[in-house]
């Protein structure tokens, strides 16, 4: 998504990274369901690697809240309750609301870049939920990115990572039902960014609240 940030050190994707991606994918696709048990030995055999990188992957997933340790009985896939979704949307409101305010304060090129990103999503395939999700996230992520605050960006990533499946589906529904493109539905947000910090803040809160509404339907 960004240009070359780390020109140094391309130490080949490690097995732990691959394991992480594969397991993540399995979780996201529903191949592994919430509540199900995840055992290192089993996963290692399935992935045809040793337990060490699998362990790395699971510890990482644990820290990200996607699985939780179940004593001596492996890990269990965390279940995302309706309440959790509300909490995630609240977290978004905190982080992205603040980011919107900052972007409005910064103004200039920052907002231009956001608008450019929004418009670049014009041609995406609206029937592909995954594409819609990614486009949506890219826009919101850009808003946080142009604040120039990497800490804030990390918080954003942490929230969105945890939200994956649920929110993805919600956003897909949002655009499908209302028959609006991702670009179309985010242009008002760009307008709000140009309308000053308070308007930007309010605009983002409203935008996120709408997302939660859709999710509930």
Cβ neighbour number for residue 76 with a 10 Å cutoff: 15
Q: How far are the Cα atoms of 97, 111, 132, 178 from residue 194, in angstroms, in the given order?
A: 14, 7, 25, 25
Q: Where are the alpha helices (DSSP H) in 29-149?
A: 40-47, 51-63, 82-106, 109-119, 129-145
- Please identify which residue in 26, 34, 36, 51 interacts with DNA, judged by CB under 7 A: 51
CB 175 within 8 A of CB 132: yes
Nearest in space to 142 (alpha carbons), one of 22, 35, 36, 2: 2
Per rule CB under 7 A, is residue 71 in the interface with DNA?
yes
Q: Report 162-181 residues binding DNA (CB under 7 A).
A: none
- Please identify which residue in 32, 39, 131, 173 interacts with DNA, judged by CB under 7 A: 39
Strands 67-69 and 37-38: unpaired
Per rule CB under 7 A, is residue 131 in the interface with DNA?
no
Give me the least distance between CB of 96 and its own copies, in Å please: 9
Per rule CB under 7 A, is residue 63 in the interface with DNA?
no
Using CA atoms, how far apart are residues 19 and 104, in angstroms rounded to an integer? 40
- Please identify which residue in 162, 175, 186, 215 interacts with its own copies, judged by CB under 8 A: 162
Binding residues vs DNA (CB under 7 A): 11-12, 14-16, 37-42, 49-53, 55-56, 69, 71-75
Binding residues vs its own copies (CB under 8 A): 6, 8-9, 11, 56, 59-60, 63, 65, 69, 71, 84, 87-88, 90-91, 93-95, 97-99, 102, 147, 149-152, 154-155, 158-159, 162
């Amino acid at each position: 998504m960004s240009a070359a940030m780390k020109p140094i050190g391309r130490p080949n994707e490690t097995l732990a990274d691959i394991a992480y991606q594969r397991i993540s994918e399995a979780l996201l696709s529903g191949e592994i369901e919430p509540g199900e048990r995840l055992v290192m030995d089993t996963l290692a055999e399935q992935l045809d690697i040793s337990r060490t990188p699998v362990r790395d992957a699971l510890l990482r997933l644990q820290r990200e809240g996607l699985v939780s340790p179940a004593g001596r009985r492996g890990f269990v896939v965390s279940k995302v309750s309706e309440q959790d979704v509300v909490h995630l949307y609240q977290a978004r409101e905190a982080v992205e609301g603040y980011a919107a305010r900052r972007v409005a304060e910064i103004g200039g090129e920052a907002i231009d870049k956001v608008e450019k990103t929004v418009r670049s999503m014009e041609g995406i395939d609206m029937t592909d939920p995954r594409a819609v999700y990614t486009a949506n996230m890219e826009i919101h992520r850009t808003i946080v990115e142009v604040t120039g605050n990497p800490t804030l960006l990390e918080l954003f990533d942490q929230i969105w990572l945890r939200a994956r499946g649920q929110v993805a589906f919600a956003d897909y529904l949002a655009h499908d039902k209302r028959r609006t493109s991702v670009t179309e539905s985010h242009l008002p947000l760009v307008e709000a960014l140009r309308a000053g910090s308070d308007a930007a803040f309010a605009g983002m809160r409203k935008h996120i609240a709408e997302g939660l509404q859709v999710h509930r339907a």
